[in-house]
Amino acid sequence: MPLQRLLRNPHLLQGSTLIGGQTWRWLRQWKKREKQASKQLNRQLACDLQNLAAYSQSLRWQDSEDAAISAELKAGHLVILRTPQDCVFWKERLESLQHQGVPCSLVTAEQCQQLEPGLGQELPIAGALHFPSGESINPRLWTQQLRTQAQALGVNIHPGVRVDAVQNHPLGLKIQGRMYLHDSIVLCTGAHQDLLQHIGIQLPSLAIAGYSVTAPVRDALLAPRSSVMDWAQQTTISRMGQRVRITAGAELNSAADTPQQQPTLQRMYNLLNDWFPGGVQLSSPQLQIWKGTRLLLPDGLPAVGPSPHPNIWLNTAHGSHGIALAAGCARALADMLSHKETAIDMGAFHPHRFQHN
């Protein structure tokens, strides 16, 4: 998992501040789980995650025929491997991925160049994993479409409203001093855990901040066609219409509103120029830099399901898998709230799974 690679390679943790006691406790719990987990358990966790991702993908476009086009969908995903050792590592795991129903293959450097003609000629490419059914989309456009569809169904959306507290007797939300009562509440709190802690829900979570840089395409022939990941640098470069986005960086003890780390951004600019030279216009005034925080749990899976309090549900800690798991998590929660059986087994994602650790 990318989480494991980041924590085992400190040079990928850019600009992290001094690690405090809570972070050390999380790291110890993660390391304890790593030591105790068998290969079979790790394979099962990966299988559970893949099943949820595949379920999400099957739901993503079912209610909107034109949504995929307007969300700038690009099919295909390459994971570039720089060394023969990385190729051996993934060759040993290829059969397991295929057994889970994931269409993938190990391709040569020459085949990488055919799939992505804009790749730099001087790059150290030993091979790559090719996922032909992989997707990259513009998440902002996708969520805007979801909002429009929800409002058409009668959903009331109140952006920018701060929820001060959650009350469980009676069930409600406190907003600007006024209590609003509800039959059920789903907390999708992302990296902000104050509301959970207020009602005594403690998840062994760690917040990690990351970056994205989005720039206009300079030359369509030299820009990426779909999505490319640099496995060694844990960096992904994706095509979104007439723009290209790179995501990278991992800062412990960092929030979205803390100062940007220029070394991290410079590394991202260098990677863009190395991987797709001449394809992106980094000097454009349309260049967009974004910093966001994602929440991680020690096993790398999200917390989706009932909380210890009746009719309060959780959908949080998706880490770097947010867009890939969103539709499946939402559908599964809707089924749970309606007392229906979920289409896939969601036991691995139960929020209570850490209570004995």
What's the pLDDT band for 75 if we cut at 50, 70, 90? confident
Contact indicator for 180, 173 with CB cutoff of 8 Å: yes
Domains of the chain (ranges plus CATH)? Answer: 2-36+74-136+206-296 (3.30.9.10)
Q: In the chain, what's the furthest Cα-to-Cα distance?
A: 64
Contact indicator for 67, 61 with CB cutoff of 8 Å: yes
pLDDT number for residue 70: 66
Residue 112 reports pLDDT greater than 50: yes
pLDDT number for residue 122: 84
305: phi then psi, degrees, rounded to nearest 5: 145, -165
Residues 215, 285: Cα–Cα separation, whole Å: 9
**What proportion of the chain, given as a percentage, has pLDDT over 70?**
83
Which range (10-14, 46-50, 188-192) has the least confidence? Answer: 10-14
Residue 19 reports pLDDT greater than 60: no
pLDDT number for residue 155: 93
Comparison of pLDDT for 70 and 276, the residue scoring more: 276
What's the pLDDT band for 28 if we cut at 50, 70, 90? low
Comparison of pLDDT for 328 and 71, the residue scoring more: 328
Q: What are the pLDDT digits (tens) for 183-212? A: 999 999 887 888 888 888 888 888 888 899
Residues 193, 201: Cα–Cα separation, whole Å: 9
What is this structure's pTM?
0.81
Residue 137 reports pLDDT greater than 50: yes
Q: What are the pLDDT digits (tens) for 300-350? A: 899 999 999 999 999 999 988 888 899 999 999 999 999 999 999 999 999
Euclidean distance between the first and final Cα of the chain, in Å? 21
What's the pLDDT band for 295 if we cut at 50, 70, 90? confident
Comparison of pLDDT for 12 and 80, the residue scoring more: 80
Q: How many CB atoms lie within 10 A of CB 171?
A: 16
What's the pLDDT band for 74 if we cut at 50, 70, 90? confident
Residue 17 reports pLDDT greater than 60: no
Comparison of pLDDT for 165 and 30, the residue scoring more: 165
3-state SS, residue 111: helix
Residue 76 reports pLDDT greater than 70: yes
Residue 39 reports pLDDT greater than 70: no
CA nearest to 124, candidates 260, 230, 46:
230
Q: What are the pLDDT digits (tens) for 141-159? A: 888 888 988 999 999 999 8
Contact indicator for 182, 173 with CB cutoff of 8 Å: yes
Comparison of pLDDT for 71 and 1, the residue scoring more: 71
